[in-house]
Amino acid sequence: MTDASQNGNATKKTYHKKATGDALLTVEQHSKEEDLQIYGSCFCPFVQRAWISLEHKGIPYQYIEVDPYKKPKELTDINPRGLVPAIRHGPSFSMYESTVIMEYFEDLGEGSSLFPPDAQTKAICRLWTDYINRIIVPGFYRLLQAQEEEKQLSYSVELRDAINKLVEAANSEGPFFLGNSIGFVDVQMAPWVVRLRKVLGPYRGWPNPEPGTRWCKWVEAIENDKSVKATTSDDGLYLDSYERYAENRPNTSQVAQAVNEGRGLP
Ligand SMILES: N[C@@H](CCC(=O)N[C@@H](CS)C(=O)NCC(=O)O)C(=O)O
């Protein structure tokens, strides 16, 4: 996708407004009206988290593509800041914030749970979820938006170290965070795992995981998970959609602005 209006330069890429590949098939399978509706954007990793949860659980839902930068009323009626994902469930309930939405899906008790049954392991999952949101996700954007080579190098080391800390906290056999099956922490992390290869690889030379490592095992398990695949578009969609971040263009998004200003993510 190109945006001819951007700086008068017709070669600039911008974000996509329609999923491609496997994600498009999933969108098409979920186009009819349902009690539960998710407002999403095909490129958005926060949306992908909630979307993976729905696919994993097999909860019936309608996927509605919206442009969060145009802020349609159907979105701002749910979240006044106009961020995706947002959901409606039934005639009177709506919610936003990807982690809160994922917890809501857990609490519905439908399909297979992403949380472990015991309170202590669940608390551990919540702790690492918080770590992903406060440390890893901002670290990803900081590196992607950095324009000077020196900063790219130091942010790359920071992100690598932050990921290593998460890997050390994971079950040593894996392949997922808690062991054999995909869980809450994996789904929280999955959209950025996908984007490490598809976005940070081409734009910042992020290396593919070293074969035989625990990290490699985890990445492969996440990338091959059925629900992750079903919500992932073709590579070109991500390359195009993230060029704005990689060039740190003005007015890219609330996330990009928060990172540039050293604030916490919106
Ligand atoms: N903390 C939010 C972040 C959601 C978010 O930033 N979504 C982006 C798309 S990836 C968005 O809606 N951006 C619109 C904007 O920047 O105005 C969550 O976890 O749901």
Residues 149, 150, 153, 156, CA torsion sign: negative
Residue whose pair of structure tokens reads 């976005």 in the numeric block: 199
pLDDT top residue among 27 and 1: 27
Task: For 130-139, write each residue's pLDDT tens digit.
Answer: 999 999 999 9
Q: How far is the CA of 211 from the centre of ligand 1 (A)?
A: 33
Q: What CATH number does the domain containing 249 carry?
A: 1.20.1050.10
Q: Are residues 92 and 126 in the same domain?
A: no
Residue 154: other Cβ atoms inside 10 A: 14
Number of compact structural domains in the chain: 2
Tell me the best of 242, 244, 253 to mutate to test the pocket of ligand 1, counting ligand atoms within 8 Å of each CB and taking the most: 253
Final residue of a structural domain among 108, 140, 157: 108
Q: Whose CA is nearest to atom 2 of ligand 1?
A: 97
Spatial CB neighbours of 159, under 8 Å, sequence gap ≥ 6:
136, 139, 140, 142, 143
Domain encompassing residue 222: 119-260
pLDDT recorded at residue 2? 60
Lookup: tokens for 203: 């734009």
pLDDT recorded at residue 1? 64
Q: What CATH number does the domain containing 27 carry?
A: 3.40.30.10
Q: Are residues 93 and 55 in the same domain?
A: yes
Spatial CB neighbours of 161, under 8 Å, sequence gap ≥ 6:
none
Q: Are residues 101 and 132 in the same domain?
A: no
Residues 246, 250, 253, 259, CA torsion sign: positive
Q: Are residues 95 and 69 in the same domain?
A: yes
Residues 190-200, mean pLDDT to the nearest whole number: 98
Peptide bond before 175: cis, by omega within 30 degrees of 0?
A: yes
Average confidence score pLDDT of the chain: 96
Asked whether residue 3 is domain-assigned, the answer is: no
User: Do residues 260 and 252 touch, judged by C-beta distance below 8 A?
Assistant: no
Final residue of a structural domain among 52, 87, 108: 108
Lowest mean pLDDT among 10-14, 215-219, 262-266: 10-14
Q: Are residues 54 and 129 in the same domain?
A: no
Asked whether residue 31 is domain-assigned, the answer is: yes
Residue 259 Cβ inside 6 Å of ligand 1? The answer reads: no
Q: How far is the CA of 174 from the centre of ligand 1 (A)?
A: 30
Tell me the best of 39, 254, 257 to mutate to test the pocket of ligand 1, counting ligand atoms within 8 Å of each CB and taking the most: 254
